[in-house]
Structure 1
């Protein structure tokens, strides 16, 4: 038992109110580091920066996820801060140690075929003569979402005025209270026209919201839309775990890039303030460029 680790855990419990699971996580991480130090003729309290770097490198070599490595670094930083403040050590060996960067996670993306199947079913269920107001609404929602790439919060809270100005596009007020223009596809315009008629028949003509509902806000809740979207996906034979409003937003961006749109245009349509946010989709551009060169370069198929 390392008395310094025990003292540190007691401090975290008494002064920071750390939960039991947090304390156990710190204990495991610090005891693992202490074992590494002992195997290299040192103690955790006396470990040098180089020895700690070697320890973290051993985690990477062992295949630990970057999130696990980052958690170990955080535990070590807290531990050495404690030693320094308690005058048990005159320096902090973790000051120059960087946390490993998390791998950029690629967004979940639906294929064009899956998206088409989803939209086709929504249109079929909303068809005149059999479509209920709910079916007509979900059809309008998915068509507009896939046509514009709106954030789900932007979509469900659209004021009805945006649909009455010009059916060719919406003017959306997004993050930072900034407005942007998003064009509508022909299917989205048709679905929206049908929804406006159904909305009027429901007696919602006086509501200020495009998608009114009996909720605290007065408009459709994002959770309700998410649930109805998953139900639609299940009926279309698409795993419900694979889809959400945000996944459809990703599909909008990815499919545009896949078929030739440039990153700056997609940035504007998504309402990203910084293009670095949009660059999670660069893998789509890279794949398209590789395919372009392989398919059209005159010497691409010649043996070397």
Structure 2
């Protein structure tokens, strides 16, 4: 069976499946579609239509990906992409059988991002606390303070931060309502510094930047639209650079720093898992680490022959 994909119908239908049925993020949809387009192009160059893709074609495509020097994480993602696509195509009758069931993804080397020390975080955050509490002052500076304070206070993802609406902030309980991966909602607490930053922004800065296009978005760009993730990343890199000895990290590094400092402060691993929105505890274990000094201190205190 050969399916004509020149019209893009197959890609459009698969994208709709990812968005509507699986609740995948826009980033994941783009990545998966890119992988599937690559596979279909690879197969088509060898005279194989979508309906005739088999295990040999899948393995040859992945081997070509590896031969071109792609990272193991890229190959692993491509395996996930084609498994998802083939399962969907089989369900919808585009494939007679699912050829991807025997594919195995390579084990990815998990490289943890750099982490800021607590003193480095304090210096970075203190450098942003220059706006008066009555809400007057530079609106962009007020917004930038919210970005960094909330990222560190909550450990949420940058996409989750940019997706927040004003109504997602509950000041009475000091919590955020966060929509995470797979459209899963969770509640994340924040502390007094983050609360003060958000309140200052809402009293003044947001109103200065808001336009008819702002909607309910909590954070806004300079043109009044919902803040873009790239802009948030730029802010984080810039403010971290104010501490000369700090590693160059982005929002993900702040997320990692928050989780690490929680663990070093004695937080339970499952609590950190819930805060970060990880489906698996194993992900949290790989994502966070406890400093050597903390391990040595606990060992010295707890071991009878330390």
**TM-score (normalizing by structure 1):** 0.61
Question: How far apart, in 1, do the equivalents of 2:254 and 2:142 lie?
Answer: 18
Match of 1:150 in 2: 156
Q: Would you say how many aligned residue pairs link Structure 1 and Structure 2?
A: 224
Once the 2 structures are TM-superposed, how far is the Cα of residue 288 of structure 1 from its aligned partner?
3.4
Alignment of 1:279-294 (within 5 A): 279-281=285-287, 283-284=289-290, 288-294=294-300
Once the 2 structures are TM-superposed, how far is the Cα of residue 105 of structure 1 from its aligned partner?
1.9
Alignment of 1:271-282 (within 5 A): 271-281=277-287
For structure 1, the residue ranges without an aligned partner over 5 or more in a row are 1-10, 17-21, 30-65, 71-97
Q: Structure 1 residues 136 and 102, CA, compared in 2 at 3 Å: closer, same or farther?
A: same
Match of 2:93 in 1: none
Once the 2 structures are TM-superposed, how far is the Cα of residue 142 of structure 1 from its aligned partner?
0.7
1:105 partner SS: coil
CA contact (8 A) 2:256 2:288 kept: no
Match of 1:116 in 2: 122
List per-residue Cα deviations over 1:211-253 (Å, max 9, x = no partner): 12366x93100111111222222233355x6210110010010
Q: Is 1:234 aligned to 2:265, yes or no?
A: no
Q: Is 1:174 aligned to 2:169, yes or no?
A: no
Alignment of 1:185-204 (within 5 A): 185-202=191-208, 204=210
CA contact (8 A) 1:156 1:211 kept: yes
List per-residue Cα deviations over 1:91-149 (Å, max 9, x = no partner): xxxxxxx99744332232111111111111111x3345984111111111111110101
Question: How far apart, in 2, do the equivalents of 1:193 and 1:293 lie?
Answer: 42
Counterpart selection for 1:224 from 215, 228, 231: 231
List per-residue Cα deviations over 1:66-97 (Å, max 9, x = no partner): 96xx9xxxxxxxxxxxxxxxxxxxxxxxxxxx
Q: Is 1:249 aligned to 2:280, yes or no?
A: no
CA contact (8 A) 1:167 1:184 kept: no
Match of 1:213 in 2: 221
Question: How far apart, in 2, do the equivalents of 1:100 and 1:173 lie?
Answer: 30
Q: Structure 1 residues 136 and 227, CA, compared in 2 at 3 Å: closer, same or farther?
A: same
Counterpart selection for 1:136 from 131, 142, 151: 142
Structure showing greater Rg: 1
CA contact (8 A) 2:174 2:190 kept: yes
Question: How far apart, in 2, do the equivalents of 1:201 and 1:135 lie?
Answer: 14
Question: How far apart, in 2, do the equivalents of 1:232 and 1:286 lie?
Answer: 27
Instruction: Give the aligned CA root-mean-square deviation in angstroms.
Output: 4.1
Alignment of 1:44-193 (within 5 A): 101-123=107-129, 125-127=130-132, 131-163=137-169, 166=172, 168-193=174-199
1:202 partner SS: helix
Question: How far apart, in 2, do the equivalents of 1:207 and 1:238 lie?
Answer: 39
**TM-score (normalizing by structure 2):** 0.60
CA contact (8 A) 1:167 1:189 kept: no
Once the 2 structures are TM-superposed, how far is the Cα of residue 188 of structure 1 from its aligned partner?
0.8
